[in-house]
Structure 1
């Protein structure tokens, strides 16, 4: 449970940090976008694609630095497949948090309002992350993929007053985490990231909060 708690805390803290730090940048650049679109220079969808793609190198760098550092500190199994799964799920998680930060700006008139709305979502995601309450919010799927890929096949025994059995059995029975769900978790997280990006693109196309 210590490892799961550490992953849960790290995912939430770093993810919220990604979403929060991207918001002022998007808010400022949206003002420029309004001006250039009025001049016929920018189109919403290509602009949104550029905004999303430019974040990918930063997210990839963050993932590699964080993943290489923490994977061996946590002392996960020295297995290339599991290490790549770890990097994959961290990359997808950082991506959907970053895109969520962009969406919050896209759907609200100001950075301050986006921060207020985001804080409510962060609280909800924290509650339903799968660590406290097992519900299918984005962070729950992240934990499904991270924990399932690293510990879902571990047959070490757990002997305690509340549970007796293997680590694999504990994860399945108590948290609903299984190694067989890794592919589904990756697909769901990718879909969440794509959905956030599409909402951001559509918000630029159909919403205009510019004050005249």
Structure 2
């Protein structure tokens, strides 16, 4: 919705949105290691929150690695279960930010031609 509100038509909006999705997926932390862009990428915060909340508190020992799942997640990916609350706040903040940009763009931009 934000991309549609800041561009003059839906064709250009789909191109802009696809570019953002590609960049966000590229820098989400699985293809490229954590850089400065990792911390401003909404997809990385979402993945961090999902993995940390689902696997960050499991104490079952993995048979192949001989370590608990929570230790493997912390050591291999750097995901800490204690950070789930921060992830929830940041993901909610991204939703509010994008909604505010959408609202401001709808109010301020006028792409009609007369």
TM-score, normalising length: structure 1: 0.48
Q: Tell me if structure 2 keeps the 8 A contact 1:131–1:175.
A: no
CA-based RMSD of the aligned residues comes to 1.6
For structure 2, the residue ranges without an aligned partner over 5 or more in a row are: none
For structure 1, the residue ranges without an aligned partner over 5 or more in a row are: 1-101
How does 1:1-212 map onto structure 2 within 5 Å?
102-133=1-32, 134=34, 135-136=38-39, 137-158=41-62, 160=64, 165-212=67-114
Q: Tell me if structure 2 keeps the 8 A contact 1:108–1:114.
A: yes
Q: Tell me if structure 2 keeps the 8 A contact 1:129–1:140.
A: yes
Q: Distance in 1 between matches of 2:79 and 2:29?
A: 9
> Number of residue pairs matched?
109
**What's the CA shift string for 1:143-179, capped at 9, x where partnerless?**
222111111011222354xx55221112112212111
**What's the CA shift string for 1:19-60, capped at 9, x where partnerless?**
xxxxxxxxxxxxxxxxxxxxxxxxxxxxxxxxxxxxxxxxxx
SS of residue in 2 equivalent to 1:186: helix
What is residue 40 of structure 1 aligned with on the other side?
Answer: none
Q: Distance in 2 between matches of 1:164 and 1:125?
A: 34
Which structure has the highest helix share of the two? Answer: 1
**What's the CA shift string for 1:46-103, capped at 9, x where partnerless?**
xxxxxxxxxxxxxxxxxxxxxxxxxxxxxxxxxxxxxxxxxxxxxxxxxxxxxxxx10
Shift of 1:180: 0.4
TM-score, normalising length: structure 2: 0.85
